[in-house]
Amino acid sequence: MLEETEKIYYYDVIIVGGGPAGCSAALALKSTGLKVAILDKSEFPREKVCGELMQSNVIKTLLKMSPEIGTAFNQFEKKTQIKSTKLHYNGKSLVFKYKHESYTCRRIYFDDFLIQYVKKSTKTEFYLNKQVEKITIKDSTALISIKNSNTVYNTKIVIGADGANSVVAKYLAGKQMDRKHYFGSVRAFYKNIEGVNSDTVEIFFHKKHKVNYVWLFPLYNNYANVGFGMLSSKISKQKINIKNTFYDIINSSPVLSSRFQTAIQEGSLDGFGVPLASKVGKIHGNNFMLIGDAASLSNPISGTGIMNAVLSGKLAGEQVIKCFNENKFDDNFMSQYYQNLDKAILKQIKKSFFAQQILSRIPFILDIAFALLSIKWVHRKIEKRL
């Protein structure tokens, strides 16, 4: 029973997490008339450790929910348009040109851009610097308590968009990290790297690490996001120090070492976890859904997560509308969200991941892959998907 001193706020929908996934869910609900709030543990702008590549479907999905965002994004200066990917391996390189618009953008800028847009274009209420401490489902409603506060939020649906260490996922889905489906990654910001093309992302493969790679993503104002990641199960089993491995690859690679001679690292090399969509587990139940990293939706091949975060936010928003139209908030009815997500991305991701795991065991897989990718019709087929 609530204490008399506790203050209760009532909402139809509460989104925990104000990143791309949470903001996308809010945009999907902007014309519904529902009372929506976003809770986030941080103030914005805030830094978010990430690879920071936004593939073409990020903007396409946002435009479907709010066409006006196109104008705002065109005027947003702190993005960098990407037109190609360049792969490097064993002295060889391959370039794949994009058919659709993709971008890189530091999350401190992009997430704040989305937050400000949602504030202006929707009636979503924001409660920032609020650390969710506990969530319970009782009498077909969710009760959310805040750390060091006597405030309680009451809602019919809670959407967990609070990242890899999601409190919503912990309390309502019982999710735990599975190292076989989780990337341990590091990234740092650099300036003055030689030979950086501002519209080309670069991927550097190393024989020792096979399908794992160093990425170099150009950013606004001549910065670059440089990072490396691998499965946490491998890191744990082989007792790998991933930060040391990152620097070892750069120093031992003839291409990278020469290009980083005059490079300046700005800030620290930071680690972050990437929950992979090769195993999502439970992502819905009575009165709740999980989206983005809280639902383990990062692509296990590329490691990117922003595109799937935005798409999951859109699909969760559409499910919310169905729930209120039918006045159904139970686990069985919520399963439609998973079915739509499975159809949109999960089936293909799981197939690709397990194919990658099998292929990675083949000796000289990178030599074989580069030989195949050099074939013109294979090259063209891949470019059509970019």
DSSP string, 287-340: TEEE-GGGGT-B-TTT---HHHHHHHHHHHHHHHHHHHHHT--SHHHHHHHHHH
Q: Is the dihedral of CA 39, 42, 46, 47 positive or negative?
A: negative
Q: Which CATH class is domain 7-83+103-177+277-357?
A: alpha beta
C-alpha neighbours within 13 Å on the C-beta side of residue 330: 4
Buried b (16+ CB within 10 A) or exposed e, 116-125: ebbbebbebe
Count of Cβ atoms closer than 10 Å to residue 81 Cβ: 12
Residue 251: helix, strand or coil by DSSP? Answer: helix
Domains of the chain by residue range: 7-83+103-177+277-357, 180-275+364-384
Closest CA to 223 of 78, 118, 338: 78
| CA separation for the pair 307, 345 (Å, rounded) | 10
Averaged pLDDT in 10-residue chunks for the chain of 386 residues = 71 98 98 97 95 92 94 95 95 92 96 97 97 93 94 97 96 92 96 96 88 94 95 94 96 94 96 93 97 94 90 98 98 97 90 78 85 90 82
Q: What does the pLDDT read at residue 350?
A: 83
Q: What does the pLDDT read at residue 1?
A: 44
Q: Which CATH class is domain 180-275+364-384?
A: alpha beta
Residue 206: helix, strand or coil by DSSP? Answer: coil
Q: What are residue 201's DSSP bridge partners? A: 85
Radius of gyration of the chain (CA): 21
Residues 6+ apart with CB under 8 A from 25: 15, 159, 161, 291, 313, 314, 316, 317, 320
| CA separation for the pair 132, 239 (Å, rounded) | 33
Q: What does the pLDDT read at residue 359?
A: 74
Q: What does the pLDDT read at residue 303?
A: 83
Q: What does the pLDDT read at residue 5?
A: 62
| Widest CA span in the chain | 72
| CA separation for the pair 156, 143 (Å, rounded) | 9
Residues 6+ apart with CB under 8 A from 349: 277, 278, 299, 300, 301
Count of Cβ atoms closer than 10 Å to residue 374 Cβ: 11
Closest CA to 135 of 323, 287, 282: 287
Q: How does DSSP classify residue 149? A: -
Q: What are residue 214's DSSP bridge partners? A: 204, 228
